[in-house]
Structure 1
Amino acid sequence: MSKQAFEEANEVFVDDRYEEAYELYTKALTNDDKTDSHFTSKVLSARAQCALKLKTFSDALNDSNNAIQLDENNIKAYLRKGIALYHQNLKEEALKTFIRGLEIDSANDQLKVWKEKCEKEFEEKKQSIAATVDKEKPSAIVNTEKEKLAAAAVPATPIPAKIKHSFYQNESAVTIQIPIKGLKKEQVQVQTTDTTLNVGTKIPATGTDYSLELDLAFSIDSSRTNYNVTGSNIEIKLYKRQAIQWTSLDAKSSAGKTQPPIPMCQAVTAKAPTYPSSSQRAKNWDQIEAQIKKDEKDNKEDMGDANTIFQQLYRDSDENTRRAMNKSMAESGGTCLNMNWEEVKKGKISCEPPDGMEWKKYDS
């Protein structure tokens, strides 16, 4: 019963129905017999992520702490605890949490991104304080003022914005589109592992943070991940490990769990459609095209290229034969080729147009 509620909560969460998902995660915890600490920790961590989406950061922090108590290796719990602390202006504690998570999993890209984000903000704040104090205060009290400003609370950071993303795919790659206007590529951070995606930026129109964190439905080749920023979209290309149909980006979605993965190359082996569909007699256009190409090839081999044949004849002929060819072609307007110099030299070669055609001199 608990695991069923957990699966339902994951599916609802993927659809961005966070309040309903939070209730289902709570139901899963209520029905949990607490015999599997790893599972209970997993549910608490999932509910913490849901609380982050609902911006109830104290609830997210509480669930994350409880998840860590049950499973000290729950990396997602450390990540969500750190994010909850960050949004409550407890950034020093948040940084320590991200560092602790990296001690367990040093390769976790999402923890690295948040750790670097905190460190960068601390450094910028430190430089700003030093510049302000040096400019406005006498040197005798500079150090004291710096200490006071350093101890002051850091202003609250804007809460991440919610923006719908979409994706399309072929058998080799999945392309994700995030509709945010006015961005430059250097303003967007994209991090992937073979099973996760993390995107972060600021929305130019509002100045608020945007982040997308996904446990991917299927594994990718993260070494080939690339992204581009257009005037209206962030486009991220993920390369598949397997040529299968993705019904969802998120591993939590149960959309594709009711049936085995569908190979995308299946359409290649299926029977191709015949056109036109309105015809009373079906035609195999692939076969017809192949026959046309074969006929063209056979004709070319039988007849050869006329210009090539003429060049070969001219090249292999003696001087008199070449004179005959040049004179006959020039005087007949290209309608007559005579290679016998004894005949050609006797007089002007008349024009002999094909049947049904008439020779007319070009009038300049």
Structure 2
Amino acid sequence: MATLRHEFYETDERLTLSIFDKGADPAQVSVKFDSRRFTYQNGEKELVLEPLKGQIDPEKSEYTVGKVKVEVRLHKMVLGRWGVLVGDSPDVLSNAPASFTPTPTASTAEARKRKNWDGITKAILESDKPVTSDDDPNAGGDATVNEFFQKLYGDADEDTRRAMMKSYVESGGTTLSTNWDEVRKAPVEVKPPEGSEWKKWAA
């Protein structure tokens, strides 16, 4: 059988395959969708793609027979780009737990990477208990460290608040900056006091 010329383009959700079979009769065309296999047949002409690079949903996949080509729309089970049509890659769904959710798109992943500094600040301030001398030898007097931090933060503008929280969180509590223009450019380095060594506490 003759193998048909074909090409494809894709999005995170779907792969569109164009099979160049000019003048194909829809009544003679046979298409079969399986989770990792696609089969197209029209008389002596055939195209078999196996194993597909990723798993598809046969129920949602479809095709249209046109005058010049047959357009096939393969609906991906997991969001993301394949790069190629076929490939002997592991099936990401075969060992997935029942609560498995599709991989987020690049834009969604990027959005999740951006930290909500206002939300982090609120959570810290709400969860922090007053610092006692047992917790911090430097604490004491009429105002605790936490109260001082709350007052400083409460009197600051929005950019200063962002700078304070970003520098404090990223430096592991070793730096507190109020300069948002400087802090937002890159992660804030950990700077322990001279003569001491910073270590990350195990959870």
TM-score range relative to shorter protein: 0.3 to 0.5
The two structures have a TM-score, normalised by structure 1, of: 0.25
Higher normalized strand content (fraction of residues) = 2
Which structure is larger by alpha-carbon Rg, 1 or 2?
A: 1
Asked which structure has the greater RCO (Cα within 8 Å, sep 6+), the reply is: 2
